[in-house]
Structure 1
């Protein structure tokens, strides 16, 4: 897991928490916020690889789906874990 998150990475997590983000189904998923591609895809890849965000639904390769925070993503934002 990432030990220190940049301000941009935290903003990406907040966008996911607010329901404003989508991911592609991929081993290195791309992120878009409010329908626009995220300006830092390497950071989006790291958030997914480090288990802070994930796709909400199982979709076909390359398709978009809503992004959601994992328990570790919630913890990174100081939010309570999901029950």
Structure 2
């Protein structure tokens, strides 16, 4: 897992919030694409950075090229300063 800059920009924070609210999906690949509310995210480079940094991940068993629900990792929750879900705590 790589590290993400200590200061996230507003777009990255908005993307993390959308994932945390259950509104996002990741296309499973080595550079996962993100869509929010069914629409492709305008900044896929930031989506790739968030995934590489271990802040977001796809949920469940996935097939390359398919969309899967996205979730925040523990590091993603910490980055937002949000509480961890009960199952992760």
Residue in structure 1 matched with residue 51 of structure 2 by the alignment: 48
Could you list the runs of 5+ residues in structure 1 that have no partner in the other structure?
A: none
**What's the C-alpha RMSD, in Å, of the aligned pairs?**
0.8
Q: Normalised by the size of structure 1, how large is the TM-score? A: 0.96
Report what 1:21 is aligned to: 24
Q: Which residue of 2 aligns with 1:10?
A: 13
Runs of at least 4 residues off by over 6 Å: none
User: More deviation in 1-10 or 40-49?
Assistant: 1-10
Q: Which runs of 5+ in 2 are unaligned?
A: none
Q: How many residues align?
A: 83
30, 33, 36: which one pairs with 1:30? Answer: 33
List per-residue Cα deviations over 1:3-31 (Å, max 9, x = no partner): 22110000000000000000011111000
Question: How far off is 1:63 after superposition?
Answer: 0.2
